[in-house]
Amino acid sequence: MGNFYPKKCLKISRICSIQILFLAMSILICLPIKAASHRLERRIYLLDVTLSMKGFNNSPNIYKRVINALTTEVSSISDPSTEIVILPFQDKVLGCFSAKATEAGKDRLIKQVCNFNYADTTYTNLFLPIKYAKKNFIKNDRRNLLFLLTDGCHNDPKTSINLFKRELCNWGIYSKGNDAYAFYVLLTNEAEPSDDIKKIIKETDRLDMFSDPGKLQFVMVQMPSEIKINLEDDHGKRISIKLISDKEIPEGARLRLELNKNPNFRVDQECVVKNNMINLDLQLLHPYDSLKMVLPVHEIIPMKTKLVNGENIQKCTGKRILYCAGDCPIDIINKPEKTLKISIVEN
C-alpha cells in the first residue's frame, strides 16, 4: 500500500526556525579539578668551588656536605625531561656538566661533579656565572630555575660588586620575559650578603634567598602554566587546581591569589594547600548572561600569586618551600552557542 496523503495539503506560509545545539563528539563530564598543565623545566646550579669550600685559610670545610646535598637534589628530580646544568665556578666558570634527568643522565652528572678537581687559589666572582648562565642556557622554551650556591661574598677586584648588584636588581624584569626564577643559596654564615643586597633580594620578583642546604628538605612548588575556565560550566563553582610538585607539599601552606583590576572578574583570596591542591573562587562582577554576550571566546587574565607563610612552614616542618611565584594566566573560555537554522517550506 502506498503512502497516504490527505487531499488538502497543509500549506505553511511561515518559515520554521529550528535551533540545533551541537554536542561534543565525546561525553562532557564536568570535573571540579583543573588539569595542571606546565612547562618543562631547566635547573641550573652555579656551584662555588673556591678553595674556601675545602677549608682553605681556616674557613669551614663544607665541600663534601654541599656535594652530597647537590647530588641528592639531582637524584630526586623525577621528570626525565627536565634539563640539568651544573656550572662550577671561582672567578670564572670552570666547566659545564649537563644532561636530561633520566637515570643514566643523573648518574653521569653525579660522577662528573664528584670527580671534579680544582686547585687554584682565586677570588669569588658571583656576577660572571649568572651572566654566563643567562647568555648560554636561560631561554623561554622552558621554565628556568637558577640556583647560586656559594660559601662567600663577591670579592673579585677585577669585577665591581656593583655589577652583581645590578644583575640582581634587573632580575625581576629579565625573569618575567624568560620564565626564570633564582635562588641565592648561602652555604655558610660567611656567605651572608650585605644589608643592601638583602634588600634588593627582598624587593625583587622571582628571587629568593635561603641557607643550610642538606639540613632542610626542599619542596619545589609551581602553579600551572595556565588555568582554563569554561565560563558556562564553571561560573559560580569553586575551582580545584592541582599544584605542580614532585613531592608532597606541607599542608597548611597558604597561597595569596589576586587579580589586577578587572572590569568583569575578581579574585582576592588566600587559600590553604591540601593534598597538593588549592581552591580558586572566580567572582563574576556582572551577571553571567550579560558577560557571555560581550566577552570574546578567549580572554587571558593574569593572576598574581605568592606564598604567604613559607617561614612558618619551615619552622614547623623542617621543609623549605621553593615557590615559583609570579603571574599565572587564567584563560576564560566563553564558548558561544552554535546554531543552525533550517528553513522548511511545504507547498
Taking only the tens place, the pLDDT of each residue in 62-112 is: 888 888 889 988 998 989 999 999 999 999 999 999 999 999 999 999 999
Cell of 96: 659545564
235 and 297 share a domain? yes
Q: How many separate domains does the chain show?
A: 2
What would the 3-class secondary structure string for 251-290 be? CCCEEEEEECCCCCEECEEEEECECCEEEEECEECCCHHH
pLDDT tens digits for 8-31?
433 333 333 333 222 222 222 333
Q: What is the pLDDT of residue 16?
A: 36
pLDDT at 38: 66
Phi and psi (nearest 5°) for 36? -90, 80
> Residue 214: pLDDT above 50?
yes
- Element housing 328 (H / E): strand 326-333
Cβ neighbours for 299, distance < 8 A, ≥ 6 positions apart: 331, 332, 334
Residue ending a domain, among 186, 215, 244, is 215
What CATH number should be reported for the domain holding residue 155?
Answer: 3.40.50.410
> Same domain, yes or no, for 81 and 197?
yes
Q: Same structural domain for residues 108 and 161?
A: yes
pLDDT digits (tens, 9 = 90+) for 220-260: 898 988 899 999 999 999 999 999 987 899 989 999 999 98
Which of residues 215, 248, 281 is at a domain's end? 215
Using the 3D structure, point to which of 215, 247, 269 is the last residue of a domain: 215
Residues 6+ apart with CB under 8 A from 309: 252, 253, 254
Same domain, 109 and 190: yes
| Residue 117 in domain | yes
**Residue 205 sits in the same domain as residue 268:** no
Tell me, yes or no, whether 35 lies in a domain.
no
State whether 244 and 211 are in the same domain. Answer: no
Judged against a pLDDT cut of 70, whether residue 313 lies above it is answered with yes
Whether 325 is in a domain gets the answer yes
Residue 294 vs residues 6, 259, 298, 335: alpha-carbon distances, Å: 50, 20, 11, 12
> Is residue 19 situated within a structural domain?
no
| DSSP-derived 3-state class of residue 138 | coil
Q: What is the mean pLDDT of residues 125-137?
A: 97
Are residues 200 and 247 located together in one domain of the fold? no
pLDDT of residue 344: 57
* 197 lies in the same domain as 246: no
d(CA 173, CA 150): 24
| Same domain (yes/no): 102, 79 | yes
In a domain, 164, yes or no: yes
Of residues 60 and 224, which shows the higher confidence score?
224
Are the C-beta atoms of 340 and 21 separated by less than 8 Å?
A: no
Identify whether residues 209 and 180 lie together within a single domain. Answer: yes
For residue 93, tell me if it sits in a domain. Answer: yes
Report the chain's mean pLDDT, rounded to a whole number.
84
- Encode pLDDT of 318-334 as tens digits: 888 888 877 889 999 99
In a domain, 12, yes or no: no
Give me the percent of the chain exceeding a pLDDT of 90.
58
Residue of higher predicted confidence among 134 and 21 = 134
The stretch 288-308 carries a mean pLDDT of 94
Structural domain of residue 89, as residue ranges? 41-215
Tell me, yes or no, whether 156 and 239 share the same domain: no
Q: Identify whether 193 is part of a domain.
A: yes
In this structure, are 180 and 210 located in the same domain? yes
